[in-house]
Chains A and B, each alone.
Chain A
Amino acid sequence: MQAAPSPPATEAVPAEAPEFEIRPRSGWVAIDFKELMHYRELLYFLTWRDVKVRYKQTVLGFAWAIIQPVMTVIIQTVIFGTVAGFASRLPQELKDRHIPYSLFNYAGVLAWTLFATGVGSGGTSLMNQQNLLTKIYFPRLFVPTSVIAAAMVDTLISLAMFFVLMACYRVVPPWTIVLIPALLLMTALAAMGMAYVMASLTVTYRDFRFLLPFMVSTWMAISPVGYPLDPHRQWIRWLLRLNPMYGIINAFRSALLKQHWDFPGLAIAIAEVGAILVFGLYYFKKTERRFADIA
């Protein structure tokens, strides 16, 4: 391809230097998308750092990204599936198609791990990187975001293992797997919204550092991660649907394993993820200006 013609030589106009003003702000601070775009490569580098550092100085290295989800599923299949007997309580439609419990469990673990890691590590990310907050300016939003982006990398590897396991069981994936990227994005957005709030809270009130693990494990208990949460009473189901992860995990199972779609649950989840994300961004931007003073 021909190189683009160079612009005609004109008087060199001195590029107008960017000018900005520093002043106290209060209330709602808009998100500066132009700035986020300018720094976008930093988001990539921070993510790349998190991924890279995680498996440094380990013998197995990146293999841990594969071993971890596989081990989790094996252990949960034994404990939840066999010992606790959830395997026998799989939805009838899955049993009819001979879907093993391990796949059912894996689909839940996949979605949940992305969310829980995102909220857990994202929620402490600002606190753990105080030195960055107090020594240099860059969009602080990237600190928790990059943690979730790194968790997404692990999730994609885990997803690849899911398909390997599917092939082992000779289960043919349905066409609905094309929806998986959208569901992964939705999970990540939910994790981001929560992580923005928790990271802002943790950097201000260190109490949340201790509350966060309880919050995540309690949340897991009301989400259908290792077991089918399909109550017969309608009102309990509506209650469970208030948890966005209920809708998301069920949607993962529907897309991957053809479990029947719980559309009301998914619709509620989509609305809630939107609300969580907007509130997360709002709260983060509102408290952001204090981070350097209290970190």
Chain B
Amino acid sequence: MSTAISIDGISKCYQIGLKAEKYLTLRDTIMSAIKSPFRRLAGLRGDGPQEGMFWALKDISFDVGRGEVMGIIGRNGAGKSTLLKILSRITEPTEGRAKLKGRVASLLEVGTGFHPELTGRENVYLNGAIMGMRKAEIDRKFDEIVAFAETEKFLDTPVKRYSSGMYVRLAFAVAAHLEPEILIVDEVLAVGDQEFQKKCLGRMQQVAQGDGRTVLFVSHNMGAVRNLCDRAVYLRNGEVDQIGETDSVVDAYLNSTISAEESDLLKRPRFPGFLHTLAKFTVIPPAGKARVVAGGQATFEFELDVKEPVHNACLGFMFNSDKGYRVLGLNSRLELRGVTLEPGRRTVRCKVDSLPLKPGRYVMDIEIRSNARPYDYVEHASVVDIEFDDFYGTGEMLWNYEGSVLHRATWEF
């Protein structure tokens, strides 16, 4: 198999100021120009210039063969998107080089360049041109694109009046009809309804297998990665942790020892009138495991900083799906009715034997009530990632439109 992408020692360094604050002001530059003689001096002495530098990628090297589908996985901030941006030529590496053979199309966002005021038809042309298609090419594929997106009726409506689903469908349809030799896809499949997601995955599979194109695919959806990818790379803190067969890399990623997720809640904003009592939230995976999995055991730990006695209290937390639906709520009231909280630091634990939620990212809201009235409430207190696990024993998992709550059943036909 010939090589389509060969990456050789790519590193990317951001100046913290650049990345965190997004932009410089003139003042910063003038100040740093004034200071720079001293910094240069410090640099010569060997104790200067490293501060304020952040290496998003460190010496990444691997090859991707022609026609191969390569998954890139890793936690947020591991450098996945930076790598894709470098390979898409959006940004340059600080060190190293990469060779790409063939026309490259990258899809880091659905609908890049879509203009809300323009109609669906106009946006297909604009977006197509931005992605590197010729007008003649778009003309030729126009009907196919529209059919794929299922938006025929709204072609002459400005896309600002589209539902978000329609918008995404149209945008993906344009991208799906690019004919690059190398396709670079960031997590764009996370949007859209499940049926359309399946259609997109199918299309990508067709692109890879049928047409023999090379695909680089970043995703948090381990199911999709396992399904689509021949091989996978696990990036961790900007470095290649594992590379190889998809299944073993995904397993390594899921089992990687990461500290339980925790969040400091005392400083989070509240509505006025709430006493800042919720101090910390931690998700503890079951013993011996690194992550919380669908249908698996999980313990939720809350640290409270109780400032005055709270009578008839209860503690509850709610899971919101990435679409914003509240899918599950747990509350001490249900099991214990009201309890009294004495002043002081205390830890509350809630253990769930089988967390019946499908894989995905959930946003947590946490509340304390006293005498049925809100006492403390932190919205979007934390995020919990639930990983795929073979809950049903068949490798199958609920599709989005089927619901979010897992439940086993016995079937007779």
Contact = CB atoms under 8 A, between A and B. Distances in A.
Interface of A: 17-25, 39, 41-42, 44-46, 49, 52-53, 56-57, 131-138, 203-208, 289, 292-295
Contact of B99 (A19, A133, A207): A19
B117 A136 contact: no
A54 B118 CA distance: 11
B86 A22 contact: yes
A78 to B, nearest CB: 34
A17 B213 CA distance: 12
Interface in B105-152: 106, 108-109, 112-113, 115, 117-118, 122, 125-126, 129-132, 134-135
A41 B135 contact: yes
B24 A204 contact: yes
Contacts of B25: 205-207
B97 interface: yes
A135 B102 contact: no
Nearest to A129: B113
Given A22-B97, A137-B89, A53 B109 contact: no
B248 interface: no
B256 interface: no
Contact of B113 (A41, A53, A136, A204): A136
B88 interface: yes
Given A135-B108, A207-B26, A294-B24, 7 more contacts: A22-B99, A44-B129, A45-B130, A56-B158, A131-B112, A208-B26, A293-B14
A135 B131 CA distance: 10
B116 to A, nearest CB: 9
B98 A17 contact: no
Contact of A45 (B26, B95, B99, B126): B126
B130 A22 contact: no
Contacts of A56: 117-118, 158
A41 B23 contact: no
B102 A18 contact: yes
A292 B95 contact: no
Contact of A294 (B22, B86, B95, B98): B22
B115 A289 contact: no
B117 A53 contact: yes
Contacts of A46: 126, 129
A46 B95 CA distance: 33
Contact of A137 (B22, B88, B129): B88
B88 A136 contact: yes
B160 to A, nearest CB: 10
Nearest to B5: A22
B129 A22 contact: no
B354 interface: no
B75 to A, nearest CB: 21
B118 to A, nearest CB: 7
Contacts of A25: 92
B87 interface: yes
B408 to A, nearest CB: 42
Interface in B54-92: 85-92
A132 B112 contact: yes
B223 interface: no
Interface string B1-40: 0000000000000100011001111110100000000000
Contact of B115 (A49, A136, A208): A49
B112 A136 contact: yes
A57 B117 contact: yes
5 contacts: A17-B101, A21-B99, A24-B94, A42-B132, A46-B126
B100 interface: yes
Given A137-B106, A294-B24, A42 B130 contact: yes
Contacts of B95: 24
B10 to A, nearest CB: 8
B387 interface: no
A52 B100 CA distance: 37
Contacts of A204: 23-24
Nearest to B99: A21
Contact of A49 (B87, B101, B126, B131): B126
Contacts of B88: 136-137
Contacts of B113: 131-132, 136
A144 to B, nearest CB: 16
A21 B98 contact: yes
Contacts of A23: 92-93, 96-98
A22 B92 contact: yes
Contacts of B92: 22-25, 289
A42 to B, nearest CB: 5
Given A24-B92, A137-B88, A205 B24 contact: yes
B103 interface: yes
A86 to B, nearest CB: 37
A49 B118 contact: yes
Nearest to A16: B101
A15 B395 CA distance: 42
B59 to A, nearest CB: 14
A203 to B, nearest CB: 8
B108 A41 contact: no
B108 A45 contact: no
Nearest to A56: B117
B181 interface: yes
Output the residue of A19, A41, A56 with the most chain B CB within 10 A: A41
Contact of A289 (B87, B91, B103, B158): B91
A17 B102 contact: yes
Nearest to B15: A293
Nearest to A39: B132
Contacts of B90: 133-137, 292
B24 to A, nearest CB: 6
Given A136-B88, A136-B112, A138-B132, A17 B26 contact: no
